[in-house]
Structure 1
Amino acid sequence: MNERHAPGYSTLQITLHWVIAALVAFQLLFGEGMTNVREAAEEGATSSGVDFAASIGHYWFGIAILALVLVRLGVRLTQGVPPHPVAAPTWMGWAAKLVHWAFYLMLVAMPVLGLLTVYVSDEFGDIHKLGKPVFLALIAVHVLAALYHQFIKKDGALRRILVPAR
């Protein structure tokens, strides 16, 4: 079924997806800078310039993620999403929905928890830190499913987030 192609997401949805993905990658790679700066401050020490820059980026990229995800949710609720490939079993559709909504939950909860950590209590930081392995697991499932659809099912599912609908 190489020629079957599910309709794609809109250009806006695709752009939001990849921008948010890039911001999340930064957060996962450089989020420790925020922890290092906070720990150094608690000890009365100075933090490195790299950690300080990473912490500033982590803060503002988190806010950007929250704003962009709220836009993405609004677009999803108004424009909907393209249908799953015709050949996909029902359980795959449910699994995809579960993973996508888990992403949305995490993409809203993590920045909110980060802001609560900064402005309310460090205790929210303990919950915030638990999000990293959850994100990594969701990303792994998401990427593996995309690769499965692309190279095993060959059903055009990956194309939906690469090529905008016309």
Structure 2
Amino acid sequence: MSASRPIDYSSAQIALHWLIAALVLFQLIFGESMKEVIDAAEEGKAMSATDAALGNAHYWVGIAVLALVALRLALRIARGAPAPIGEGILTRVAAGTHHLFYVLLVLAPVTGLLGFYVGEPWGDLHEIFKPIFIILIVLHAAGALFHAFWLHDGTLRRMLVPQRS
């Protein structure tokens, strides 16, 4: 990381955050079609055009998530991230949540690809990540709203407004 921490996130960091969030939401909502595609292929049955299209989208969106997360991590290493506002247990919970997000954002696409090309147990492991992601997203959003509407400390604003000059 850089010697001095930035005050806010850059435009690129903010854009990557929200783009990855949108892609993960797409995966969570439409990802079940991939299971239908794999089940149909294993059973030698025809699949619906919708499941085929959404399964294909799930595959490519997963690869996009993996590539964008790699870019986001590289940018974070090169540029750094602002220091947390506040201290104590909430700061440690937030840090742990962010670290777990990064781990899952890498492991979910990797295990998805392994499940697709290699098979079990990777596919089963990949499916476990969905409820974990949902819990983390709820926790993350609740934390952001808590900071915005209870603490009024500007934490959420940093992920909405690019770095000041």
TM-score (norm 2): 0.93
Match of 2:156 in 1: 158
Match of 2:89 in 1: 91
Cα drift, residue 89 of structure 1: 2.7
Cα drift, residue 152 of structure 1: 0.5
Number of aligned positions between the proteins:
159
Q: Deviations over 1:20-55 (max 9, x none)?
A: 001000100011000001111222211111111110
Q: Deviations over 1:49-107 (max 9, x none)?
A: 1111110010000000000001111111111111222xx23222211110001000000
Q: What is the identity percentage for the equivalent residue pairs of Structure 1 and Structure 2?
A: 49
Q: Give 1:139's aligned amino acid.
A: I
* Counterpart secondary structure, 1:47: coil
Where structure 1 has 5 or more consecutive residues not aligned to the other structure, the ranges are 1-5
* Counterpart secondary structure, 2:150: helix
CA distance in 2 between partners of 1:67 and 1:9 (Å): 20
Which among 117, 120, 139 is matched to residue 122 of structure 1? 120
Alignment of 1:60-139 (within 5 A): 60-85=60-85, 88-139=86-137
Cα drift, residue 123 of structure 1: 2.2
Aligned 8 A contact 1:8 1:159 in 2: no
CA distance in 1 between partners of 2:23 and 2:120 (Å): 23
Moved over 4 A (4+): none
Moved more, 113-122 or 30-39: 113-122
Q: What RMSD, in angstroms, separates the aligned Cα atoms of the two structures? A: 1.2
Alignment of 1:5-44 (within 5 A): 7-44=7-44
TM-score (norm 1): 0.92
